[in-house]
Amino acid sequence: MKDFKNRVVVITGAGSGMGRAYAVEFARLGARLALNDYDADGLAETVGLVEGAAPAVVSKVFDVGDKATMNSFADEVKAELGDAHIIINNAGVGGGGKPVWLNSDDDYERTMQINFFGVVYGTRAFLPQLLRNGEGAVVNVSSVFGLVGTPNTSDYCAAKFAVRGFTESLMVELQTSAISVHLVHPGGVRTNIAKGVEGGEEFTAKYLKTDPADVVRQVIRGIRSGKQRIVCGHNSFKLWLTSWSLPLEKRNRLLHGELKALMDPEHYDILKGPKA
């Protein structure tokens, strides 16, 4: 798909960061927008930014991990704008931010429900609309942490690896269709994804440097060209190269050394064994 004028583009997590940047860019390209976010104020702000540019805008505040509401959103989009042409499953949360033994079951369940099942629900709710149109694109946002495992992010990495597996399977299933499928692995993009996560401020300052609009433009170029894997953002190429070029043992040592400064020593005292 190369022309987005009057195409219906659905964007989850549109209240800030990359989701907002997708909305602004697709509005500039003349698309009709269906926007979601859990943050009502953030979503309203995004709607205010794009209403003058996009031919039509609908929005709905809900948690993408709620399957029934995602399905009803798809029905509302069809009723108000027509069948969707592009679904961008962008919404996500940062995870628990602790090592495996300190994360709670709730951390894992919440992160998987939003970051993985939100992608599954969004894809499955809107894919029939793309198929009815006979053209379209599914854009699922993983992460560079869907390429390598990193400390204090086991719930986040698990979800983003799952998005990768789900999306790569979908690519093969739709290989002979007119629907293109794109898997995005953003690196350090300047968003609020780490807000509220333990150590998030330090992580944000050190690693989240790329303007979201730069990533969005690369994704749009990928949709136009049919590129299936899109790796972009600060340090993304280095992590992608590391993910396949190094033996696992060497890769893990390298990642531990790179990220050790962000690992709270108190969280890792248990590794020293019982105290005398």
The structural domain count of the chain equals 1
Establish if 252 belongs to a structural domain: yes
Q: What confidence tier does 68 reach under pLDDT thresholds 50, 70, 90? A: very high
pTM of the full predicted structure?
0.90
Mean pLDDT of the chain, nearest integer = 91
β-strand pairing of 8-11 with 86-89: parallel
Whether residue 68 lies inside any domain: the answer is: yes
Return the pLDDT at 67.
Answer: 98
Residue 273 within any structural domain of the chain: no
Catalytic residue among 22, 108, 121, 156: 156
Q: Which residues contact 164 (CB under 8 A, 6 or more apart)?
A: 142, 146, 147, 183, 185
pLDDT at 194 over 50: no
pLDDT tens, position by position, 71-110: 999 999 999 999 999 999 999 999 989 999 999 999 999 9
Containing domain of residue 165, as a range?
8-268
On whether residue 49 sits in a domain, the answer given is yes
74 half-sphere exposure, CB direction, 13 A CA radius: 22
The pLDDT of residue 272 is: 83
2 lies in some domain: no
Q: Tell me, what CATH number does 80's domain have?
A: 3.40.50.720
Q: How far apart are CA 162 and CA 48, in angstroms?
A: 34
Greater pLDDT, 146 or 1: 146
For 223-261, letters b (16+ CB in 10 Å) and e give: beeeeebbbbbbbbeebbebbeeeeeeebeeebeebbee
156 is catalytic: yes
Res 133 pLDDT > 90 = yes
* Residue predicted with more confidence, 83 or 276: 83
In a domain, 193, yes or no: yes
- The answer to whether residue 178 sits within a structural domain is yes
The answer as to whether 72 is a domain residue is: yes
